[in-house]
Structure 1
């Protein structure tokens, strides 16, 4: 699993107060068919039994510790210490399937060692939901770089990544901002690194759905989307004017998804804030259906909420 020579993969797992789930996550790593890897767990200032759990793992895990600074900073600590040619990221509440790293390595070899590999996840709330997952034949779509994938509307799973270590260091890893969607921001900054392999099959990760999931925070999802828009406005994503429309296709697809999601959850103010902030970018493409239709939809949702609120106030106890 670990050896004196350089491993092919460095598995980086940030964690904070998830001792009860981390053990299952690590078990899914140790069950990998591919054995040429090292495991780095970055403890982000946990106050539960995480360090005790990790101490029991022996030499199978390298443990890094830091004061609580968020998952982006924790992952960057792992990137700095990684010895592998590729870094594979896994969150401490999610799980891999036995074939995950073997699939990534096979794809990397067959596709000319692209800079970025992105897998596919399956949402689950109970462990028994994973029992239906079977190992399917590999289905891979290859692009010259990540930005080139802008026209593909297949839903993306940006939390399932294996990336060349040197490319991660070149773009300085993850943002330190405590936002949801920091993995999408990373992909945008990796946008012109040569080679992007998108593994459509088999499923490579189980994404645990629970109240503690970062993406369940509406405010953080809003902040993360705003952050990406700001980075684009400041010219911090690669490609310049010649790749602008491709970048906007990628980014605004996410904006529309998040704004509709926020609206469905009754957060009209956050949804409309995203709409307003993204409007100048939508005019570049443009996306008239969203530009014209979203405010009307938001007004209808707001009106419906007010009517329901008044009915609730008027109804007898």
Structure 2
């Protein structure tokens, strides 16, 4: 039996939260418990929850960021799996049943990434398909594929989450990548291939829209890797660095394009040897050229 503790962090998104909770209530596999962590909202979120959803455990804390909110929910959870969902996103009715079936099929892995689809107005879940997945010995073993999921698209076995010490709480982006890397050697990683299990809402308030926070978040991953903070030691170093480099490349290019040259240049230099080791010469040339052009334009404008 799989018991899901559903954890929803929220901050001033009451209108979105209502739809999010409706999607949880519509699950064909009922969750063991639902925990909503209000991260210092001023829009009446907790009061609304207490008045309309007494069955949901509502926790209020001072604003500390999404990582801290997820950690707070995890600390209060008692299910054997933690299913994270952001308050502006939605689940199709089959999300938890898909997770349950895959977790049972693959011997209760430590970490699962959802299959997500972006939406802006109306969610498109597509058709319900048979549950299929890519399966790896651990997260590090997936280094050759572009395995990505935001913090609200992850399912983690609770004991593995405790072992990883949760999400970082420094308010930078990439806290989801850090958690996955903390579980580099934890047994069992599953990446959902079908069906779609999360509808990810794209809007102006998405944290990933902050380019500088994204670059600084990737730099944090690099620093933690260089400091030996991730498990697996030297035997998994190449795999971990390939995973981090895959996040670094789009961050560098986007930062250079949007004028965050200092941060982009710093990340470029910090990962230069990693990219050279993997033969990423086209990327290094393109990124170097973009940074040089930006520097020339800034010099001319000054």
Q: Same fold (TM over 0.5)?
A: yes
**Pairing partner for 1:50 from 45, 48, 63:** 45
Larger radius of gyration: 1
Q: Is the 8 A contact 1:7 1:36 kept in 2?
A: no
Q: Is the 8 A contact 2:216 2:263 kept in 1?
A: no
**Pairing partner for 1:237 from 230, 233, 239:** 230
CA distance in 1, matches of 2:140, 2:171: 24
**Within-5 A mapping of 1:3-42:** 8-42=3-37
TM-score (norm 1): 0.89
1:139 paired with 2:136, answer: no
CA distance in 2, matches of 1:305, 1:103: 51
CA distance in 2, matches of 1:31, 1:25: 10
**Pairing partner for 1:158 from 139, 150, 160:** 150
**Pairing partner for 2:82 from 80, 87, 90:** 87
Runs of 5+ in structure 2 lacking a partner? none
Instruction: Give secondary structure in 2 for the equivalent of 1:91.
Output: coil
CA distance in 1, matches of 2:215, 2:31: 38
CA distance in 1, matches of 2:79, 2:113: 17
**Pairing partner for 1:296 from 270, 274, 289:** 289
Instruction: Give secondary structure in 1 for the equivalent of 2:155.
Output: strand
Q: Is the 8 A contact 2:255 2:264 kept in 1?
A: yes
**Within-5 A mapping of 1:89-128:** 89-127=84-122
Residue 292 of structure 1 deviates from its aligned partner by 3.5
Q: Is the 8 A contact 1:44 1:68 kept in 2?
A: yes
Instruction: Give secondary structure in 2 for the equivalent of 1:59.
Output: coil
Residue 303 of structure 1 deviates from its aligned partner by 5.3
Provide closer, same or farther for how the CA distance between residues 199 and 232 of structure 1 changes in structure 2, counting only shifts above 3 A: same
Provide closer, same or farther for how the CA distance between residues 207 and 305 of structure 1 changes in structure 2, counting only shifts above 3 A: farther
Instruction: Give secondary structure in 2 for the equivalent of 1:271.
Output: helix
CA distance in 2, matches of 1:193, 1:220: 28
**Pairing partner for 1:212 from 205, 211, 223:** 205
Which aligned runs of 4 or more in structure 1 are off by greater than 6 angstroms? Answer: 304-307
**Pairing partner for 1:258 from 251, 255, 258:** 251
1:222 paired with 2:215, answer: yes
Number of aligned residues? 301
Q: Is the 8 A contact 1:115 1:163 kept in 2?
A: yes
1:282 paired with 2:275, answer: yes
Provide closer, same or farther for how the CA distance between residues 274 and 41 of structure 1 changes in structure 2, counting only shifts above 3 A: same
Residue 297 of structure 1 deviates from its aligned partner by 3.0
Runs of 5+ in structure 1 lacking a partner? 1-5, 311-317
Residue 144 of structure 1 deviates from its aligned partner by 0.1
Q: Is the 8 A contact 1:7 1:38 kept in 2?
A: no
**Pairing partner for 2:64 from 60, 69, 75:** 69
Q: Is the 8 A contact 1:143 1:197 kept in 2?
A: yes
Residue 59 of structure 1 deviates from its aligned partner by 3.4
CA distance in 1, matches of 2:118, 2:31: 27
